[in-house]
Each structure stands twice: as structure tokens, then as C-alpha cells.
Structure 1
């Protein structure tokens, strides 16, 4: 299996990756094909595909913020079972994130991820791949160390319509296993930077961020 970076919508593997995204996630969570043109060329956005026998069987997108000393997993998708795709993506991503830390002369405090809450989801499609079911994914993320932030999370929809998406928790995997909370100011800085690309933000998101600004720390709870 190959771990290949995709930095253009003209890349031979981009179409397969985008198709896979559309089969796993609901429409409001998937950026339209043509809207990928500019962001995928951003050197700070790392999009990699797992290629097996010439076909895209998985993909992951992530970024590292050296000034904040945190990373973010945008998505991880598995499109085929019994190939070890999930483990392959995890190992290769960890290697690359370590490289990014060394390159920037920083040490990561942890990694954010938006995690679906199965109890909030109705009629969720996951591309007929059992490994992508929200319950399974949540347990896997818990197993590798993710916890959820103690807040009612909402994020702007990626379809640029400014809708409030409320079916997820904001998770964080601390580098130090004993970490029980993180600074609220860090969460605010991260969210403002991460969602700077979306001009239309729902009032629920603005209210959530304002609430975080009035807090000192945010507890990390079990998933």
C-alpha cells in the first residue's frame, strides 16, 4: 500500500478520494469538488491517500499549527475492509506529524478531531463500510487516546451555507496522558484559525466561541 500526498484536483487520485468522501459523509460535511482547487494547494494542509493496486482505498487530511503546538485531523476515511487501511493511515500520519514537529522545532501538545456523536445522528450513511460507522469510529478514537471537550459543540457547514452542524463533539488527544483539561484560549485560537476559511458562520458557532472566551479551562471527558 502506498501513502501518497495529493496537492491538486488534477491529481490522478483526487477524483477517487472525493468520491470516497461523498460515500462516507453527509453533503454538508463535504467541500464541493471545484472548491478544493485552492485549499488543497495550501502547503499546510496535508491530504494523503492510501492506494492499493492503483485504487484509492482510504484517505486522511490533517494539519499542524506550530505556533499553537496542536494538530487537527480533518478526516480519516476507510473505503475497503481487511486491508489494514485504518492502521496504515494512522502510522503514516503519525510519522509525518513527527516530521512536521521536528521541522518547526516544536513539540505538539495534542491533536483535535471532530467526532460524530452516534446518539445525535439519524439516518447517517457511511458508505456500507462497517469501520466507518460512527459507533465504531468513536470507540477507535477513544482507544487511541481521544477525549471530548466539555462543551456543546457546533461548527459551520462546509457547504458554505452557514448552517450549524450539531452532530459532533470536539475531541482532543493530549500528548500527555495525564492531561485533564486544556486552556479555553487555546481552543478559541484554534477554532478561529481553523474556520477562517468559512465566511458564513451560524450564530450558534459565534455564541459557542464567545462562551469559551469567558472560561479559563475546558475539561476533557471520556468519549
Structure 2
């Protein structure tokens, strides 16, 4: 397998990746094809695919924010079982992030955010019938990687930009120091407002959540 970065919407692997996203994720989680042009060309957004032969069998998108020395995992896709795709993506992603943190003068990444489905609240996600993408499996894998959940009722704006609030997820954080038990509320607010700045139609539930976070100093990190 090869770990290949996509930086252009015209890359043949991007069409394969977008098709794979449509097979795996619910519609509200997938940005329209044409709207990917600018994100792919943004140096801060890193989209890599796992290529086996001429087939895209997995992918990960993440971002590194120099000013906070944090990352955000947008998504990870494992298209097929039995090939070690998840491990392959995780190892190469962390290698890349460590290099970015090093270039930023940091010894290690402060931490990485991720939105994590909670199948104990929402059970209808099928993820294309790919069992390794089952939310129960994914949640446990993320826990093994070191992710914890922030102690808040989390929603996010729909990527369809229709003003709907998407629930049934937790906001997770994997601290660089595994003994860390809280995260700064101001960091969470700055991150969320930056991350979702591309969406103009924010739901009231999301706005209210962000405003409630502004009144806090720390947010507890709890087990997944």
C-alpha cells in the first residue's frame, strides 16, 4: 500500500475517494464534490489515501494548526477488512503530524480532536455495510488510540449547510500527554469557530453550545 496525498480535485484518486465517502458516510457528513477544490489546495488540510494497486482502499483527512499545535481528524475511512488499513493510516498520519510539530518547534503534538459517533445513542449508521467502520468498533479503536470525550452535549452544523444541527456524536480529544484530564475551554471555542467558519448557516443549538463554552475555563476529558 502507498500513502498518497491529494491536493487537487482533478487527481484521479480524488474521484475514487469521493465515491468511497459516499458509500461509507451519511449524506450530511459529505461535502459536495465541487466544494472540495479549495480545501484540497489548502496547505493546512491534509488528505491522504491508501492506494492498493490502482484502488483507493482507505483514506484520512486531518488538519494541523500551528498556532495551537493541535490537529483535527476530519475522517478516517477503512474500505476493506483484513488489510491492516486502519493501522497503516494511523501510523502514517502520526508520522506526518510529528514532522509538522517538529517543524513548528514543538517536541510533540499537544493533542488531536475528532468527532466520534456514539452508537449507544444513535444506531442507524450503517457506514456502507463495512463492518470495520461500525461505530462500535471505531469508538473502541479510538479509545485504544488514546482519545477521550469532552464533557459536553455536542452538536455540529450539517455539512450540507442547511442550518440543521447534527447530534449523536461526541467531541473527542487525544492529548499528547495521556495523563491530561482537562482541556482549555478557550481552545475548544477557538478551534470550533475556526473549523466551522466555512459553513455560513450555523444552527442555534451549535451557537448556544459555543456560547456556553465561553463561560468555562476547563472541560473535563472523560473515557469513551
Correspondence 1:112 to 2:113: yes
1:103 is displaced (CA, Å) by 1.6
For 2:91, the equivalent position in structure 1 comes to: 91
For 2:158, the equivalent position in structure 1 comes to: 157
For 2:149, the equivalent position in structure 1 comes to: 148
For 2:218, the equivalent position in structure 1 comes to: 217
For 1:123, the equivalent position in structure 2 comes to: 124
TM-score (norm 2): 0.97
Q: Secondary structure at the match of 2:127?
A: coil
For 2:102, the equivalent position in structure 1 comes to: 102
For 2:167, the equivalent position in structure 1 comes to: 166
Between Structure 1 and Structure 2, how many residues are aligned? 223
Looking at structure 1, the residues matched to 126 and 33 of structure 2 have their Cα atoms a distance apart, in angstroms, of 20
Looking at structure 2, the residues matched to 44 and 69 of structure 1 have their Cα atoms a distance apart, in angstroms, of 12
Give me the CA root mean square deviation.
Answer: 0.8
1:120 is displaced (CA, Å) by 2.2
Runs ≥4 residues deviating over 4 A = none
Looking at structure 2, the residues matched to 37 and 178 of structure 1 have their Cα atoms a distance apart, in angstroms, of 39
For 1:204, the equivalent position in structure 2 comes to: 205
For 1:10, the equivalent position in structure 2 comes to: 10
Q: Secondary structure at the match of 1:196?
A: coil
1:108 is displaced (CA, Å) by 2.0
1:167 is displaced (CA, Å) by 1.3
1:23 is displaced (CA, Å) by 1.1
Is the CA contact (8 Å cut-off) linking 1:114 and 1:169 kept in structure 2? yes
Looking at structure 2, the residues matched to 102 and 147 of structure 1 have their Cα atoms a distance apart, in angstroms, of 24
Is the CA contact (8 Å cut-off) linking 1:66 and 1:108 kept in structure 2? no
Looking at structure 2, the residues matched to 38 and 174 of structure 1 have their Cα atoms a distance apart, in angstroms, of 29
Is the CA contact (8 Å cut-off) linking 1:69 and 1:109 kept in structure 2? yes
Q: Secondary structure at the match of 1:17?
A: helix
Q: What 5-or-longer segments of structure 2 have no aligned partner?
A: none
Is the CA contact (8 Å cut-off) linking 1:188 and 1:212 kept in structure 2? yes
1:169 is displaced (CA, Å) by 0.3
Q: What 5-or-longer segments of structure 1 have no aligned partner?
A: none
For 1:194, the equivalent position in structure 2 comes to: 195
1:33 is displaced (CA, Å) by 0.8
Q: Secondary structure at the match of 1:169?
A: strand
